[in-house]
Structure 1
Amino acid sequence: MIVKLGYVAMSVELQNASPSQTMTFAQFNKIKDREAAIRKLERIAESNIDNCLRLLKHNAGNQIHFFRLSSRLIPLANHEELLDWDFIKPLKESLKKIGDYLIDHPMRIDFHPDHFVVLNTPNKDILANALKTLVMHKNLLKGMEIDTEHRCVLHVGGGYEDKEKALEQFIHNWGYIHPSIQRMIMLENDDTTFTVKETLYLCEKLGIPMVFDYHHHLANHEELEWKEDWERIINTWRISPLPVKMHISSPRSEKEYRAHADFVDPEMFLEFIQAIKGTVPEIHCMIEAKQKDAALFQLMRDMQGAKGINIIDQSSFFVD
Structure 2
Amino acid sequence: MTVVRLGYVAMSMELQNASPSQTMTFTQFQKIRDREAAIRKLERIAISNLENTLRLLRHNAFSEIHFYRITSRLIPLANHEELLDWDYMKPLKKNLQEVGEFAKSNAIRIDFHPDHFVVINSAKKEVLKNSIKTLKLHYLLLKGMEIDPEHRCVLHVGGNYKETDKSLERFVDNWMLVPGPIQKMIMLENDDTSFTVDDTLYLCEKLGIPLVFDYHHHLAHNHNENWQDNWERITATWQNSPLPIKMHISSPKSEAEFRHHSNYVDIDMFFRFLNEMKGSVSQIDCMIEAKKKDQALFRLMEEVKKRTDVEIIDGSSFRLM
TM-score computed with the length of structure 2 as normaliser: 0.99
CA distance in 1 between counterparts of 2:210 and 2:173 reads: 18
The match for 2:63 is 62
CA distance in 2 between counterparts of 1:185 and 1:104 reads: 24
State whether structure 2 residue 154 is matched by structure 1 residue 153: yes
CA contact (8 A) 2:103 2:110 kept: no
Matches within 5 A, 1:167-206: 167-206=168-207
The match for 1:309 is 310
State whether structure 2 residue 217 is matched by structure 1 residue 216: yes
Percent of aligned pairs sharing the same letter: 63
Structure 1 residue identity aligned to 2:3: I
CA deviation after TM superposition for structure 1 residue 106, in Å: 1.4
CA distance in 1 between counterparts of 2:48 and 2:36 reads: 18
The match for 2:281 is 280
SS at match of 1:117: coil
Q: 1:79-109, CA deviations, whole angstroms, 9 ceiling, x for partnerless residues?
A: 1111111100011011111122123211100
State whether structure 2 residue 38 is matched by structure 1 residue 37: yes
SS at match of 2:287: strand
The match for 1:124 is 125
CA contact (8 A) 2:155 2:188 kept: yes
CA contact (8 A) 2:248 2:287 kept: yes
SS at match of 1:260: coil
Q: 1:125-174, CA deviations, whole angstroms, 9 ceiling, x for partnerless residues?
A: 00000000000000000111111000000000001121100000000011
Structure 2 residue identity aligned to 1:68: R
CA distance in 2 between counterparts of 1:255 and 1:44 reads: 39
Matches within 5 A, 1:72-91: 72-91=73-92
CA distance in 2 between counterparts of 1:109 and 1:204 reads: 24
Structure 2: runs of 5 or more not aligned: none
CA deviation after TM superposition for structure 1 residue 316, in Å: 0.0
Q: Which moved more, 1:155-164 or 1:101-110?
A: 101-110
CA distance in 2 between counterparts of 1:265 and 1:207 reads: 32
Structure 2 residue identity aligned to 1:119: I
CA deviation after TM superposition for structure 1 residue 307, in Å: 3.1
CA deviation after TM superposition for structure 1 residue 175, in Å: 1.1
Structure 1: runs of 5 or more not aligned: none
Report the count of equivalent residues: 320
Could you list the runs of 4 or more consecutive aligned residues of structure 1 that deviate by over 4 angstroms after TM superposition? none
Structure 2 residue identity aligned to 1:209: P
SS at match of 2:18: coil
CA contact (8 A) 2:22 2:49 kept: yes
Q: 1:9-36, CA deviations, whole angstroms, 9 ceiling, x for partnerless residues?
A: 0000111100000000100011011100
The match for 2:245 is 244
CA distance in 2 between counterparts of 1:269 and 1:109 reads: 22
CA distance in 1 between counterparts of 2:305 and 2:93 reads: 42
The match for 2:272 is 271
CA distance in 2 between counterparts of 1:246 and 1:9 reads: 16
State whether structure 2 residue 295 is matched by structure 1 residue 294: yes
CA distance in 1 between counterparts of 2:100 and 2:302 reads: 31
| Aligned-residue RMSD, C-alpha | 0.7
CA distance in 1 between counterparts of 2:140 and 2:278 reads: 37
SS at match of 1:137: helix
State whether structure 2 residue 96 is matched by structure 1 residue 95: yes
The match for 1:164 is 165
